Amino acid sequence: MVKIIRPLLVIFGGLSLLTGLAYPLATTGIAQAVFPAQANGSLIEKDGKVVGSRLIGQNFSGEQHFWGRPSATSPMPYNAGSSGGSNLGPTNKAQLDAVKGNVDNIRKAHPTQTGPVPVDLVTASGSGLDPEISLASAYYQVDRVAAARKLPATAVRKLVDDHIIGETFGLLGEPRVNVLELNLALDQLARKV
């Protein structure tokens, strides 16, 4: 019996050390050496304090900031510990009512806009944590943000232009802006004016 159990325990111990200790330490070390910002959460610092991550959206609701996509996480929006969509289909009455309510709120907050509301301003994503919005959504909000900040709309539009993130690898996705980075730049611009 000992002849059978001893090799099993040695193999178990060896594999535990290899897969439970050596491999995680090696991958963590490589990640820290090659991609330190990403390995540490792509954090954004302002005045020496962490204010968020480039990868997780934040709930901006004030008139003076750009708004991101709605978040369906619970118990609060942009809860990274509860990532996920609502799982409601496009014909579900609750989903249709939520989108209609979002459209009404967006239109009320942007009375100067007469065109269609960009879809990413009224629908949540699959993760509920999107940190970016489309250029159409950013430009749609320029007049509201400029009026709330008492800034020229051209200056706010230029700020959006300066924060455009192009397609991934030059061909995947569409141009977009990171809402947190844009709002931080907006705060800085407002302090200068």
Q: What is the CB neighbour count within 10 angstroms for residue 24?
A: 10
pTM of the shown model: 0.82
The two three-digit tokens of residue 173, written as one number: 């996705």
Between 50 and 190, the more confident residue is 50
Q: Percentage of the chain with pLDDT > 90? A: 66
The two three-digit tokens of residue 145, written as one number: 């943000």
Dihedral sign for Cα atoms in the order 165, 167, 168, 170: negative
**In degrees to the nearest 10, what's the CA dihedral of 168, 169, 171, 176?**
20
pLDDT above 80 for 70: yes
Q: Is 95 exposed, middle or buried (0-12, 13-18, 19+ CB in 10 A)?
A: middle
Average of per-residue pLDDT across 19-34:
95
Residue that the structure tokens 């159409």 belong to: 136
Q: What is the pLDDT of residues 106-133, one digit of tens each?
A: 999 999 999 999 999 999 888 888 999 9
For residue 176, give the nearest of 139, 145, 151 by alpha carbon: 139
Q: What is the pLDDT of residues 142-154, one digit of tens each?
A: 999 999 999 999 9
Query: CA–CA distance from 149 to each of 111, 188, 193 (Å)?
Result: 16, 12, 10
CA pair distance 164, 17, nearest whole angstrom:
46
Q: What is the pLDDT of residues 41-60, one digit of tens each?
A: 888 988 889 999 999 999 99
Dihedral sign for Cα atoms in the order 155, 157, 160, 161: negative
